Amino acid sequence: MTSAEKLLQAELPPRPSVLTSLAAEMQSEEPNLANVSAMVSSDVGLAASVIKTVNSPYFGLGRQVASVQQAVTFLGLGEVFGIVTGALLRRVFMSGDPAMERLWDESTARGITMRQLSLALRAIAPDRAYTCGLFENSGMALLLLHAPGYAHTLKQAGDGRDLLERERVRYGIDHGALGQALVRTWGLPEDIALAVRHHHDLHHLEGVEVPWQTKLLIALSLVANEMVRRARGERGPKWGEDSVAAGRVLELSVSELEQHMQTVAAAPGAAA
């Protein structure tokens, strides 16, 4: 078995049972919010994580919630499902490696920023944008845990495309493909799986048969990643062309896109 086959077949963490139960409830004609609250609350650590996240300034409730049921009432089932998914994702990749901590901190910032952008631009459901941002580099987490020397590979790459090529050469697979496999394993929407797979490829998707929502998610990702970099005092080396590509999908000029970025970054609770 190749290293790529091993990563795909043996190392993908299974879908947590609570996600399966929550997804079934969400797909019912009349979701029972009390049942949803009880499912999440039965896991004390998960419930605490959800409440902490909901009470953070990023979600802008303007009030404190004391229970999962209040979180569901104020934010809605879709948003809470995304928060639960993110908490479980981080849990299954627990590691003392500083690279893993940086990866999840950046993933959280990206997910929150994508959510804020989706609200500002009314581009796509905010919970879907948030979840996509969290899962975008989940394949890296798999590689950090199971691929020898991956932390060093991560430091060597100059940009996303270089990193993908290095991963394929050294491990037979890249983090986009692994992330896509994980999203599918966890039963999340296919447009998110495709966005995770192609998050470096927006320039190459014109004329390609992918859902429009996938392109919207990738465009939001490009913008969010640039905002996270700027918050660190950095600039993306390809932002000139990325901004044009993202603006085309979001139906914004580059100057309009920059204005929205500044507005979102200046809003109370901005992740960046």
Could you read off the pLDDT of 55-80 as tens digits, one per residue? 888 887 778 889 999 988 888 888 88
* Overall residue count recorded for the chain in this entry: 272
How high does pLDDT run on average in the chain?
87
Task: Judge whether residue 161 has pLDDT over 90.
Answer: no
CA distances from 64 to 35, 56, 82, 147 (A): 22, 9, 19, 42
Please compute the mean of the pLDDT values over residues 97-119 and round it to a whole number: 91
**What pLDDT is attached to residue 84?**
92
Burial of 70 (0-12, 13-18, 19+ CB in 10 A): middle
Task: Judge whether residue 159 has pLDDT over 60.
Answer: no
CA distances from 52 to 48, 68, 115 (A): 6, 10, 17
CA distance 8 to 140: 13
Could you read off the pLDDT of 248-272 as tens digits, one per residue? 999 999 999 999 999 998 876 666 5
Contact between residue 187 and residue 19 where contact means Cβ atoms under 8 Å apart = yes
Cα dihedral sign, 102-149-182-161: positive
**What pLDDT is attached to residue 235?**
85
**What pLDDT is attached to residue 5?**
57
What CATH number is given for 96-272 in this structure? 1.10.3210.10
pLDDT band at 99 (very low <50, low <70, confident <90, very high): confident
pLDDT band at 156 (very low <50, low <70, confident <90, very high): confident
**What pLDDT is attached to residue 1?**
47
Task: Judge whether residue 149 has pLDDT over 90.
Answer: no
The structural domains of the chain, with segments of one domain joined by +, span 15-92, 96-272
Could you read off the pLDDT of 192-237 as tens digits, one per residue? 999 999 998 887 776 667 889 999 999 999 999 999 999 988 888 7
Radius of gyration of the chain (CA): 18
Which H/E stretch holds residue 36?
helix 33-41
State pTM to two decimals.
Answer: 0.89
Task: Judge whether residue 169 has pLDDT over 60.
Answer: yes
Other Cβ atoms less than 10 A from the Cβ of 179: the count is: 24
